Amino acid sequence: VIQHSTINNLGIGRSVDETKRTLQALQYVQENPDEVCPAGWKPGEKSMKP
């Protein structure tokens, strides 16, 4: 199941760190379905309960 998609113009740089962070956040919310990750969230930081 695709849960995230990013399309960049060729002239815009991409961040491997941001892609990794996004994948980690997707895995986290899959394992913790009652929580959400705020923008910029990183593993070990607090998540939120909506």
Q: pLDDT tens, 4-14? A: 888 989 999 99
Query: Do residues 47 and 37 touch, judged by C-beta distance below 8 A?
Result: yes
Domain count, the chain: 1
Its domain, for residue 36, covers: 1-49
- Whole-model pTM: value is 0.80
Q: Which of 1, 16, 19, 32 has its CA nearest to residue 47? A: 32
Query: Do residues 48 and 29 touch, judged by C-beta distance below 8 A?
Result: no
| φ and ψ at residue 36, rounded to 5 degrees | -130, 155
Express each pLDDT in 16-39 by its tens digit.
999 999 999 999 999 999 999 999
| φ and ψ at residue 48, rounded to 5 degrees | -125, 150
* Residues sharing a CB contact under 8 Å with residue 25, sequence separation 6 or more, in sequence order: 37, 41
